[in-house]
A and B are shown apart, each in its own frame.
Chain A
Amino acid sequence: MIEAIGLTKRYGHTLAVRDLSFTVQPGRVTGFVGPNGAGKSTTMRMILGLDHPTEGQVLIDGRPYQELRHPMRTVGALLDAKWVHPNRTARNHLRWLAKASWLPKSRVDEVLAQVGLTAVADKRAGSFSLGMSQRLGIAAALLGDPQVLLFDEPVNGLDPEGILWIRRFMQGLAGQGRTVLVSSHLLSEMAQTAEDLIVIGRGQLISQGGTAQFIGGATETTVLVRSPQAPRLAEVVTQWGMSARNTEDGALVISGGSSDQIGEMAATHGVVLHELSPQQGSLEEAFMRLTGHAVEYQADEVNVA
């Protein structure tokens, strides 16, 4: 379990993270979402004790990172796949990490096989493609068989196959009861991977909770109805406190009620329905609405003549 308590980080005059508190539970993938520059990477570096918080603290299983007995066996992390010496082979990169964590050499071959890099183990890490570097980073994170795993934007720049592989991999790790925290600036990506979401903007917590709940709450759910007696139906649902508006092609968009309720009302009042379909609002829309004023580097509206 990861626990952030009033985490604050200031770089000069810039407040990167502001009074951030959250918990990450074991046994599930937790998505850490926010626009670029929201403070996700800074927070992850503080979890690993690389950056010192200006205020507050972050605990892993109740202890700060510096006080962990076997840090790499407790927390595995992939913050940047480029953090390898380009002239060192993949195997040697893992070999010194294994040595530092009192792990046997055989563990290096195990994780290389696990991420599918056995064939290129003795190639220079600098010659790796982004996808291969990403796999090497994951191998390093898995080396100590840790219960807590952190991944910073792991799917950035990957092809669809790589994205799918990483997504399944993280879900598999969570399925084994591990704590998995994954950051991304893409909510739609996290919606498919994570069960819990921590949403931040400008270094502040915007929301924490279940993914489905967040999406349900953040996006407006509406029901699209087609009926030859549309005006009659609109009248009925309005009486029950819902609101209805006409679309350009003569359909009704009703908000404030579920499709079940609307269907039952139509039946009660003898209204014929040709279509009754719940509409899920777009995730990007919801994300923009929530974090819109919390974007660090906002572009001006561009006037296209």
Chain B
Amino acid sequence: MTLLAVERIKLFSTRAPVWCIATALVLTIGITAGLVSLAARDSRVSAEGTQTVYILGLVVIMVMATLSVTTEYRFGTIKTTFQAVPSRTRALLAKATVLALVAGVVGEVSSFGSWGVARLITGSSATDIVTAAQWREIAGMGLVYAIAAVLAVAVGALLRQSAAAVAILLVFPLLVEQLVEIIPRVGDQLHEWMPFVAAGQFASTADKGLPYGPWGGLLYFAAVAAALLVAAIVVVEKRDA
């Protein structure tokens, strides 16, 4: 618990995380509000239709999570951290946990916020959350955000460089995962097993014809994040701080 408090103090005693959280919420809720008000006149907006831009908030939160590690390397405070907490495993686990919790809350606020603003704009019961799949998608968004934050912490710890980590976390989910599809023969299968594609299966109500269901997708996404975190811990323990 003490280490969680330490990481919480570190995270919220600089301004960047606060800006990232605000940006993530403004992007998702704001764009949803814009899209819904454009569409509301001639079509009915469903509950799942309010979650289409979740990935924008997700990448911003991943940037926040990865920066929480890379700035420590950039400014040398990682050495102070390991001086205070010589068990690097515990220090990294504490950081990943705090970032996951914060990201989880942001994910919930973002998904319910987007839905709420859409419901207000449409004023129509068509937007109500009715089916179990809709509940899973909207209430479960926090889980997707939390797992993504752990993945981002791991990438940050592995790379140590802000620019490299941020570039990968932006380019991979937004571009690379889509582009692998154009690879002949193996592209389609590769695409199915991309981590953010799997997360997307959970964060939507549509059946995309993937070899796993929504919970399977979330589990696979979590497994990738966990594997990266374990790799990061092994590397960080081994190399000089």
- A residues neighboring B (CB under 8 Å): 45, 48-52, 65-66, 68, 71-72, 77, 79-80, 82-89, 92-93, 95-97, 99-102, 140
By a CB distance below 8 angstroms, the chain B residues around A82 are: 75-76
Of the candidates A45, A50, A99, which one forms a contact with B9 in the assembled complex, judged by CB atoms under 8 Å apart? A99
By a CB distance below 8 angstroms, the chain B residues around A45 are: 79, 240-241
| Interface-lining segment among B21-29, B80-88, B103-111, B152-160 | B80-88
How far apart sit A298 and B145, CA to CA, in the bound complex (Å)?
54
How far apart sit A86 and B75, CA to CA, in the bound complex (Å)?
8
How far apart sit A82 and B77, CA to CA, in the bound complex (Å)?
9
What is the minimal beta-carbon distance from B84 to any residue of chain A, in angstroms?
4
A-B contact pairs, 17 of them (CB 8 A): A45-B241, A48-B79, A48-B83, A49-B82, A49-B83, A50-B240, A65-B86, A66-B87, A71-B83, A72-B83, A83-B76, A83-B77, A87-B14, A88-B10, A100-B3, A100-B84, A101-B84
> Is the beta-carbon distance between A96 and B6 smaller than 8 angstroms?
yes
> Is the beta-carbon distance between A50 and B77 smaller than 8 angstroms?
no
Of the candidates A77, A88, A99, which one forms a contact with B83 in the assembled complex, judged by CB atoms under 8 Å apart? A77
B15 part of interface (Cβ distance < 8 Å): yes
By a CB distance below 8 angstroms, the chain A residues around B240 are: 45, 50-52
Given contacts A50-B240, A100-B6, contact A92 B80 (CB under 8 A): no
By a CB distance below 8 angstroms, the chain B residues around A80 are: 76, 79
Given contacts A45-B240, A50-B240, A65-B86, contact A99 B5 (CB under 8 A): yes
- With CB as the reference atom, state the residue of chain A lying closest to B84: A100
By a CB distance below 8 angstroms, the chain A residues around B10 are: 88, 96
How far apart sit A51 and B79, CA to CA, in the bound complex (Å)?
10
What is the minimal beta-carbon distance from A153 to any residue of chain B, in angstroms?
15
- With CB as the reference atom, state the residue of chain A lying closest to B87: A66
| Among all A-B residue pairs, the 3 with the closest Cβ atoms | A83-B76, A92-B13, A100-B84
Of the candidates A52, A79, A97, which one forms a contact with B84 in the assembled complex, judged by CB atoms under 8 Å apart? A97
What is the minimal beta-carbon distance from A60 to any residue of chain B, in angstroms?
11
B178 part of interface (Cβ distance < 8 Å): no
How far apart sit A86 and B77, CA to CA, in the bound complex (Å)?
10
> Is the beta-carbon distance between B79 and A84 smaller than 8 angstroms?
no
How far apart sit A66 and B3, CA to CA, in the bound complex (Å)?
16
How far apart sit A157 and B75, CA to CA, in the bound complex (Å)?
20
B2 part of interface (Cβ distance < 8 Å): yes
- With CB as the reference atom, state the residue of chain A lying closest to B12: A92
Additional pairs, 6, CB under 8 Å, beyond known A45-B79, A71-B86, A83-B80: A66-B86, A77-B83, A80-B79, A85-B75, A96-B9, A100-B85
- With CB as the reference atom, state the residue of chain B lying closest to A144: B84
Of the candidates A50, A71, A99, A102, which one forms a contact with B79 in the assembled complex, judged by CB atoms under 8 Å apart? A50
B71 part of interface (Cβ distance < 8 Å): yes
> Is the beta-carbon distance between B86 and A49 smaller than 8 angstroms?
yes
> Is the beta-carbon distance between A50 and B14 smaller than 8 angstroms?
no
- B residues neighboring A (CB under 8 Å): 2-3, 5-6, 9-10, 13-16, 71-72, 75-77, 79-87, 238, 240-241
By a CB distance below 8 angstroms, the chain B residues around A49 are: 82-83, 86
- With CB as the reference atom, state the residue of chain B lying closest to A97: B84
How far apart sit A68 and B86, CA to CA, in the bound complex (Å)?
9
By a CB distance below 8 angstroms, the chain B residues around A102 are: 2
What is the minimal beta-carbon distance from A175 to any residue of chain B, in angstroms?
25
Given contacts A80-B76, A87-B15, A96-B13, contact A50 B84 (CB under 8 A): no
What is the minimal beta-carbon distance from A241 to any residue of chain B, in angstroms?
54
- With CB as the reference atom, state the residue of chain B lying closest to A9: B240
Name, among B2, B6, B83, the residue most crowded by chain A CB atoms within 10 Å (CB to CB): B83
> Is the beta-carbon distance between B2 and A50 smaller than 8 angstroms?
no
How far apart sit A243 and B129, CA to CA, in the bound complex (Å)?
103
> Is the beta-carbon distance between A50 and B3 smaller than 8 angstroms?
no
What is the minimal beta-carbon distance from B82 to any residue of chain A, in angstroms?
6
What is the minimal beta-carbon distance from B137 to any residue of chain A, in angstroms?
37
> Is the beta-carbon distance between B9 and A92 smaller than 8 angstroms?
yes
How far apart sit A50 and B81, CA to CA, in the bound complex (Å)?
10
Given contacts A68-B86, A100-B2, contact A83 B79 (CB under 8 A): yes
By a CB distance below 8 angstroms, the chain B residues around A140 are: 80
Given contacts A50-B82, A50-B240, A50-B241, contact A88 B6 (CB under 8 A): no
Of the candidates B3, B16, B75, B82, which one forms a contact with A84 in the assembled complex, judged by CB atoms under 8 Å apart? B75
How far apart sit A125 and B142, CA to CA, in the bound complex (Å)?
34
> Is the beta-carbon distance between A85 and B84 smaller than 8 angstroms?
no
Name, among B2, B9, B238, the residue most crowded by chain A CB atoms within 10 Å (CB to CB): B9
- With CB as the reference atom, state the residue of chain A lying closest to B15: A87
By a CB distance below 8 angstroms, the chain B residues around A101 are: 84
How far apart sit A201 and B75, CA to CA, in the bound complex (Å)?
29
By a CB distance below 8 angstroms, the chain B residues around A71 are: 83-86
By a CB distance below 8 angstroms, the chain A residues around B86 are: 49, 65-66, 68, 71
